[in-house]
Amino acid sequence: MIVFFYDNNQIVCILLLWMLLGGIGVPMATVSAQDVSTDSTGRAVKLNQVVISKRDMRMIVLRPTGDTLAVFRIACGRNYGHKQREWDCRTPEGRFVIASVEDPSVWQKDMAKTESPGEVYGPRFFRLKTPGFTGIGIHGTSKPELIPGRITMGCIRLSNKDLYVFSKLVGVDTEVSILPDKNDTINDLLTNY
């Protein structure tokens, strides 16, 4: 569900009500017209920030002032804990930036799979600069019914509708903070000792 507002008081009231009701499992994004501009290179004119909570399975886009601009339901890595190696099915934690915005439909298809990259990843792939790892990003999905959940190889998934809205709010160099779940922290302690 996408809801458009032009008054910050409406946004705050709706978000508070939505959070009090536990989100009711419905994706929700709030957007105002002045927050969706990007320059010709795809970089966000106003560098909003993104905060991802693996515990809450939510991604929040914040204005530079710290006000909440949008909230999306997400899916993340199927295994708990901070990413330690390639293919461990964990979502990395920490502060990153969007390194590039890519169109998966132009990627080469893996012949072993029935779906094309454009179907699997949705219309956009926001590649994160994650030192030590490649291929981590924020993208859409061909299976929105699996959101929210712990189902990915390490990326953050959104419904394609939410990804479209997200693409209007962020761009290259947007900061992305990924917060751990308490189970992630416990799992890291058990794994490393």
Confidence check: pLDDT of 152 > 80: yes
> Would you say residue 74 lies in a domain?
yes
Q: How many domains would you assign to the chain?
A: 1
Q: Which of 76, 82, 89, 139 is catalytic?
A: 139
DSSP alpha helix (H) spans, 8-104: 8-20
**CA angle 31-2-41, nearest 5°?**
50
| Closest-CA residue to 25 (of 68, 60, 56) | 56
Q: Is 82 a catalytic residue?
A: no
Asked, for residue 161, whether it belongs to a domain, the answer is yes
Point out the least confidently predicted range of 28-32, 68-72, 112-116, 149-153.
28-32
Q: Which amino acid is at 173?
A: D
Look up the CATH number of the domain holding residue 30: 2.40.440.10
Task: Give the domain extent around 60.
Answer: 2-188
Residue 191 Cα distances to 77, 90, 93, angstroms: 16, 13, 16
161-176 tens-digit pLDDT: 999 999 999 999 999 9
Specify the 3-state DSSP secondary structure of 174: coil
* Beta carbons of 69 and 63 less than 8 angstroms apart: yes
Higher pLDDT, 111 or 109: 109
Establish if 84 belongs to a structural domain: yes
pLDDT tens digits for range 64-101 = 999 999 999 999 999 988 888 888 889 999 999 999 99
- Mean local confidence (pLDDT), 124-137: 92
Residue 135 lies in a domain: yes
Structural domain includes residue 193:
no
The verdict on whether 89 is a catalytic residue reads no
Is residue 48 within 8 Å of 60, Cβ to Cβ? no
Contact yes or no for 31/157 (Cβ under 8 A) = no
